[in-house]
Chains A and B, each alone.
Chain A
Amino acid sequence: MSQFNLYQEEFQPSPIKNIWLEFKQSHFALAGLAVLLVFCTIAIVGPIFAPYDPSLQNTNALLLPPSWASNGSISHLLGTDSLGRDVFARVLYGSQTTFVSSVVLVAVALIVGVTLGTLAGMSSGVRSSILNHFLDALLAIPTLLIAIIIVAILGTGLINSMLAIILALIPQFVHQTRTFVRNEMEKDYILLDKLDGAGKFRIFWHSILPAMFELLAVQSTIALSIAIIDISALGFLNLGAQGVTVELGAMLSQSLESAYVAPWLVIVPGLCVFMLVLSVNIVGEGLRSALRNRLIH
């Protein structure tokens, strides 16, 4: 077949590809993405690399320092905690719990929030305005307070703390979706859809949702970083993951009793949360400036 084009065509990458081209301009964003991918890998296959069972107690190796310290042992890479459990294995499992539960809860909050936001955005009138404001006001209640109440009703646990954070994240999605949908509804292409006789659901599914994709991507990274911090904060306060569930925040709070003699027990899980959040934020930041630049160029 002929390899040349008859007409000179301008190369037009797809929107997603366009974002990627902009995104990879920034080295920082790429580095953040790499770290995030490492965490994703840990979340999926991390436990395979764990040298020990995370709850295996070894009373012969209590509070062992990391292997690079002078009296560390090579068999425990990041040392052991006060019950002789391997810190490296626990960090792998803990990162998995923290990251996966955050991703799941963001997904749930996203779905619920977008649904509610769309409903609010597509309806109008005084009733919806009061309802909207009222929801705003109620949901301004701090996450921790919601978590405390849910934990008081249902008891402590990872699932219950996830529930609390979902409740706290929903309003952001509602807000953003509602504003967006409201603005879009006034645009001509929606009017065109309406004239074609499209129903509300069809308008949403085929016209608004594709346009909203970028907004949701950015919002999700923001929500994800909040979710990770909150999940580990609740774990730290002993309101979240309990007992045998290994979670980074809970690890941190367990390490406090020997914080002075074994500072690595405080540093390692905290650093993990920090790196996780930082990578999510950098990727989010990169995504945002990619979106902005794409519009400018």
Chain B
Amino acid sequence: MKPKKHLNAFNLALFRCFAIGLAGLLQACSQPTETVDKDGITFCSESSPNTFNPQLDTSSTTADASAHQIYDRLLEFDPENGRIEPGLASSWLVSRDGLTYTFQLRKDVKFHTTSYFTPTRNFNADDVIFSIDRWRKASHPYHAVSGGSYPYFDSLNLQNTIKDVKRINGYRVEISLHKPDSSFLANLATDFSVVLSAEYAMQLMAAGSPSQLDKSPIGTGPYRFVGYRKDQYIRFERNPDYFLETKGAKHLIFDITPKSSLRFAKLITGECDAVAFPSQADLEVISQREDLTLMQKPGLNVGFWAFNTSKPPFNNPNVRKALSLAIDKTSLIEAIYLGQATRAKNLVPSASWAYQPNASESGYNPVEARRLLDEAGIAYDFAMTIWAMPVQRAYNPNAMKMAQLMSAYLEAVGINVEIVSYDWNRFRENLRLGMHDSVLIGWSADNGDPDNFYRPLLTCAAIPSGTNRAMWCNRQYDAIIEAALLTDDFEQRKVLYHRANQLLFDEAPLVPIAHAFQYQAISNDIDGMVINPFGGIRFDNVVRKP
């Protein structure tokens, strides 16, 4: 028996209930309501910062999250032309012998007032001395806090270049050097040379929690820190006491979104106003869409494939050369950068004055590669790892995909590849420990000087600081790079750098792959964004259009 009849009226009633409910729900959802705070900017960044103190880290993620938001430096780069401009130092003087630098400091600069710190005094010479001494002196009480490693300064050996940092009076500081350094001022203007608050540091030391200095940061910059949740967000608020006239938005959010496809999607839906490292595949769409703007500049960067030269068989230059011959760079650049990059012959891009157009470069020759491998006694089915960095960078927008393509090439010459990847912070830590066979990574310039490529990437001093991914130490190379700094004569320096290029070609500790364009994708709702070719992103003048 089945009940069939007289249900219609009842059905109808039930149906109506649904229909009304559903309609109400849809209406509530599609109602055009003002939901977004007019005075806030959301930036979708690619990864969680390691720390909020750029002294401790060379990763651009850390620099983006802190260098130009929370902090200021004594000197700044003009993002347009790379000239050095006054920052916290209003003027400076260099002695005739190039050994003594005197900085006159601004007087009206206040540190941030936040829920966890209230400054009692303005910025002065003590803060500058504290900030430099922290990384310079191993005996400084703060030196060992948060790991005690200052990779940028260590890789340049800057702590041994500086003889002393002296306080002349409250607003005048004198720095003396052991030997002349033609890139010293440029180094003080990089993202890493931030000025911390000595007063806050002393308070934390007294409270027994010194590492808070790098976790809950206090600076003088245009934004103050409000909150951070790993892999989720960083929240900033405009600094009402900033010493410069800025018109930046009241709230600044870093929405941490590791997948480039998701960042792009959020840009389209308007959940992000600007995104870091748009994927090359999406660039065309971005430039076609009317609500988005694609900004681009030739980047001061290089993407490369570095071999761990401390491990056999990669300590053999012939093996390294063979591997470099086995891959077809042209196809890699075509597939990964989709033509948005120039092929790299050596470390510096053509935008730098040290660029060498006629540098020697290895081509694609799998037969020769196999011959060299046989000669070196590398068997068929030799297994090696390629570490592919887990984040996107302008110099390598998709290391994972590049590693997959390369493994096909290497397989053709009888080498089995295992691709390895970790969380970004752990990835770099393991690289520093030399656990890799080879790695796909790169470098973005922090200042316009070619020394900024040659020294941190391949000198012996850069091995412990973890920027020399090839773990390559060559006395001859170090001597050339050292000599190039002692003079101000461009032609003379050029000759030296070209000699270094030849040495790198012969030794092949790494295979330069590409110099990529630098991109920034923003929504047309915001205004005031500029690409900063010398490091971290800046939001001091970014506003939502009225």
A contacts B: CB pair < 8 Å: yes
* Chain A residues packing against B (C-beta within 8 Å): 55, 57, 59, 62-63, 82-84, 243, 256-261
Contact B404 A257 (CB under 8 A): no
Chain A minimum-CB-distance residue to B338: A62
Contact B260 A257 (CB under 8 A): yes
Contact A82 B282 (CB under 8 A): no
* Chain A to chain B contacts (Cβ below 8 Å), 9 pairs: A59-B335, A59-B405, A62-B338, A63-B281, A83-B335, A83-B404, A256-B261, A257-B279, A261-B284
Any A CB within 8 A of the CB of B202: no
Any A CB within 8 A of the CB of B359: no
Give the docked Cα–Cα distance between A256 and B264 (Å).
Answer: 11
Chain A minimum-CB-distance residue to B260: A257
Of A55, A84, A256, A257, which is in contact with the most chain B CB atoms at under 10 Å from its CB?
A: A257
Contact A82 B264 (CB under 8 A): no
Contact A261 B335 (CB under 8 A): no
Those of B235-281 within 8 Å (CB) of chain A: 259-262, 264-265, 268, 279, 281
Contact B261 A57 (CB under 8 A): no
Contact of B282 among A59, A84, A256, A261 (CB under 8 A): A261
A62 partner residues in chain B, CB cutoff 8 A:
335, 338
CB distance from B474 to the nearest CB of A (A): 34
Chain A minimum-CB-distance residue to B409: A57
A59 partner residues in chain B, CB cutoff 8 A:
331, 334-335, 405
A57 partner residues in chain B, CB cutoff 8 A:
404-405, 408
A256 partner residues in chain B, CB cutoff 8 A:
259, 261-262
Any A CB within 8 A of the CB of B398: yes
Any A CB within 8 A of the CB of B137: no
Give the docked Cα–Cα distance between A52 and B264 (Å).
Answer: 32
Contact A260 B401 (CB under 8 A): no
Contact A258 B331 (CB under 8 A): no
Contact B405 A83 (CB under 8 A): yes
Of B268, B281, B282, which is in contact with the most chain A CB atoms at under 10 Å from its CB?
A: B281
CB distance from B404 to the nearest CB of A (A): 6
Any A CB within 8 A of the CB of B376: no
B338 partner residues in chain A, CB cutoff 8 A:
62
CB distance from A213 to the nearest CB of B (A): 29
CB distance from B186 to the nearest CB of A (A): 37
Give the docked Cα–Cα distance between A62 and B282 (Å).
Answer: 14
* Chain B residues packing against A (C-beta within 8 Å): 259-262, 264-265, 268, 279, 281-282, 284-285, 331, 334-335, 338, 398, 401, 404-405, 408, 419
Give the docked Cα–Cα distance between A258 and B285 (Å).
Answer: 11
Contact B264 A84 (CB under 8 A): no
Of A62, A83, A260, which is in contact with the most chain B CB atoms at under 10 Å from its CB?
A: A260
Contact B405 A261 (CB under 8 A): no
Give the docked Cα–Cα distance between A256 and B265 (Å).
Answer: 11
Contact of A257 among B261, B284, B334, B408 (CB under 8 A): B261
B261 partner residues in chain A, CB cutoff 8 A:
256-260
CB distance from B315 to the nearest CB of A (A): 28
Contact A260 B405 (CB under 8 A): no
A-B contact sample (13 more), CB < 8 A, given A258-B281, A260-B265, A261-B281 = A57-B408, A59-B331, A59-B334, A59-B335, A62-B338, A84-B335, A243-B419, A256-B261, A258-B279, A260-B268, A260-B282, A261-B282, A261-B285
CB distance from B353 to the nearest CB of A (A): 34
User: For chain B, what secondary structure do more than half of its interface residues adopt (helix, strand, loop), or is it mixed?
Assistant: helix
Give the docked Cα–Cα distance between A260 and B334 (Å).
Answer: 20
CB distance from A103 to the nearest CB of B (A): 29
Chain A minimum-CB-distance residue to B335: A59
CB distance from A57 to the nearest CB of B (A): 5
CB distance from A274 to the nearest CB of B (A): 21
Contact B281 A82 (CB under 8 A): yes
CB distance from A193 to the nearest CB of B (A): 37
Give the docked Cα–Cα distance between A14 and B24 (Å).
Answer: 55
Of B282, B331, B404, which is in contact with the most chain A CB atoms at under 10 Å from its CB?
A: B404
Give the docked Cα–Cα distance between A84 and B404 (Å).
Answer: 12
CB distance from A251 to the nearest CB of B (A): 14
B284 partner residues in chain A, CB cutoff 8 A:
261
B285 partner residues in chain A, CB cutoff 8 A:
260-261
CB distance from A21 to the nearest CB of B (A): 23
Give the docked Cα–Cα distance between A245 and B259 (Å).
Answer: 23
Contact A257 B398 (CB under 8 A): yes
Contact A83 B264 (CB under 8 A): no
B268 partner residues in chain A, CB cutoff 8 A:
260
CB distance from B383 to the nearest CB of A (A): 13
Give the docked Cα–Cα distance between A63 and B335 (Å).
Answer: 10
Give the docked Cα–Cα distance between A2 and B536 (Å).
Answer: 99
Give the docked Cα–Cα distance between A245 and B419 (Å).
Answer: 14
CB distance from B116 to the nearest CB of A (A): 36
Give the docked Cα–Cα distance between A259 and B266 (Å).
Answer: 13
Of B259, B261, B334, which is in contact with the most chain A CB atoms at under 10 Å from its CB?
A: B261
Contact B335 A260 (CB under 8 A): no
B405 partner residues in chain A, CB cutoff 8 A:
57, 59, 83
Given A57-B408, A59-B405, A260 and B331 contact (CB-CB distance below 8 Å): no
A243 partner residues in chain B, CB cutoff 8 A:
419
Give the docked Cα–Cα distance between A239 and B264 (Å).
Answer: 25
CB distance from A81 to the nearest CB of B (A): 10
Contact B401 A82 (CB under 8 A): yes
Contact A83 B401 (CB under 8 A): yes
Give the docked Cα–Cα distance between A243 and B385 (Å).
Answer: 14
CB distance from B257 to the nearest CB of A (A): 13
